[in-house]
Structure 1
Amino acid sequence: MDFKEDFLHSVWKYQYFDKNGLQTTSGEPLTIRKIGFHNFHEGPDFLEAHIQLGEVAYFGHVEVHRKSSDWKNHDHDADPRYNSVVLHVVYEDDKAILRKDGTLIPTLVLKGRILLDVVRNYERLIAGKGDLLCNNGLQNVPEIIRFSALEKALVERLEIKSSRVLKILEETNSDWEETCFRWLLIGFGFKTNAEAMERLGKLLDFKTLKKHSSNPLVIQALLLGQAGLIPERPEDEYGKILKREHDFYQQKYTWPIPMHVAEWKFMGVRPANFPTIRLVQLAEVIRKNPNLLGSLLHDSADFKALKRLFSIQVPEYWRHHHQVDKTAVKPMSSALSSMTFNLLLINFVVPIWFAYGKYLQDSTLQERCFDLLQAMNAEENYIIRKFRNSDWIPQNAFDAQGMLGMYHNYCHQKRCLDCKVGQNLLKPALK
């Protein structure tokens, strides 16, 4: 039988083996009182287990391996965290493992004991084709299990994003307004220019930009200038004004040297998504919402309020130019597209709410994230289409974001047995 160690973790966790007449390799009768808590971090696989060997009770940890010799192969003998292991669970016993004091670590061999249904279900699961190994069995998974899997993956996805927000909060010395601005920059970079936008956020500050909220031209000049997106010698009058304004205020505020235009990605990007256009749109958002964080937390409780937050019109110049001095082939929209708006809600608003709720230990803000996502339409991309092709149709953005989390953290990494769908497909049939 070919399997990974995580299969044995599941076998132990759900006790998918014959427990009649259990004994260790040394012949001691074994009774399992408590399997322990699955440890997903460094250290023994299951913590705080309770077993009984003969008449003696033992409390400690459980370590699981394919072969007992993996104990030394993984250098557990040199790690003091494994001194409290009371049971070594293996598929095959090929070597006696001793503690530092020379005593034998009790070992349970699972070979020949794993339930046949479970073995067959596992083999069927890993034999799946494509990126979703569970493709052929999805129709057999109850709806409640699938929803639970999506919910878990979504929460994990939001935890990852909110941890990035909280990292920025540390960098800004707990300045939530500055953090919100930097996260907005990253949001406006989307996937293509998110990293460049993050670097730009460290070359200016939101408090200074707010001072000029009544003059959008200055905000444009500061953003585009620090981004290195204003030519050294602009040819048209608008570009000359931007250049003059940036150079004056950069010197006044002693801001760092601007970025270089080469740090931005233009190739393969639609003009509407050029960093120049995104920064001009961002300037309008700042002009309209100088108290950005307050508006986001207190004036945007529903979808319509959020719509007003991002309801902007860029200056006429940018309807006909996608870069300074470069005329667009055809006029561009002066407002944010509905797709851009939805992506900003998902990638900017929701993580800020979730992170702020976590910071304040306020679950109502985090619940607001789920309510908003359930009220939004599901996005479309190549990953969502993989689920659609498996007849798993997202009903809203909540489902779609959960699917993205599942794909990146489970499906793509073949972590089927850590996923609730895979766990459901593994379990034996009811007798």
Structure 2
Amino acid sequence: MKNSSTSSISEKKLQTGVHRLLSEPSKIYTTASGKRLQVLSPGRLNVHEGPDFLDIALLLQGNVIVADAEFHVKSSEWNVHNHSVDENYKSVVLHIVFDNDVKLSLPFETLIMNHDEVRKASEDTSFEINIPDVFSIEELQQFALIRLLRKTSDAKKYVNQHGLDSGFQMLSGEFLNKYFNRRKRPVYTSERLEQLLQILPSSHVFKLLKELSEGAELHIPDMMQQLIKTKITDEGSHLRRELVFNSVLPLALCLANEESRINLFLWYWSTPALHSYGILKRRFKDFPQNFIWQQQGMLEYIRNYGSKTVVISDVIKDYGFAEVLDFYYLGGSPYKKYPFEEE
């Protein structure tokens, strides 16, 4: 939706409002077709030709999709602008509108948003927080997603190669080894961490993962809260919390059915941080650490990219998540194709 007319000025403000509202990753939407939608990252606002939002990350019916989105006031504008025959728009998976005046039979979902809410968001100066120059809030959300998918992909490989029992222990052992080595003054001896590792296969943690793998109907928020709160042996809450986020949650995502996976992602994006990390506060002093995903995004950024500029879609492609995770799609919808893509 790009043009230079006077009327486009207000539309660009509305795009900003849409982008801001979509920047809340714990909010659940329902598409026009009735599908459950969670925007894990709103993507980048596009000021050039092509879709309005690039590299938007969605959780749609339990599938993670990274592609593009387009905004129009009315759904019929898609046809007016001939987007269906423009290959710049072939990766659009979400059409955001105020008025769904025409039902389009195309490979994307339609999300109807409230005009007044979007207008209010576009004028709300509270969104204009001071963010470090190295990246923006939507990129932070992308890095938080990349970190979780990277760990989930690793967990899936362990399970595929070694089975659930051994895979879980090997994955946890790798994390505990890194946990021990990254600390100048380790709180735990290697013997205590080894004891924790040996107890894991007979613990309540593994029992819950086993139930999840067997398709048991579990109340995910209660399950995750139990994992966070209940001691495995004599470990402290900080270590247990890190174990959950680095080993248990990724493995749970591998094992979960569609409904449980949706709730696991929702839990990840809505769980508050226990405390602030000093290293992150020094590096990103103007950015909040209110939620776990914010900290995870910062950690992932520091892990590989320092202060370099990166293109998120290229980073995601490099990891090859689609080759490992059966619920991950890059660049298009798993449900339908454009007419020019049909075989």
TM over 0.5: no
Q: Which has the higher contact order (CA 8 A, sep 6+)?
A: 2
TM-score range for the pair, normalised by the shorter chain length? 0.3 to 0.5
Normalising by structure 1, we get a TM-score of 0.37
Normalising by structure 2, we get a TM-score of 0.45
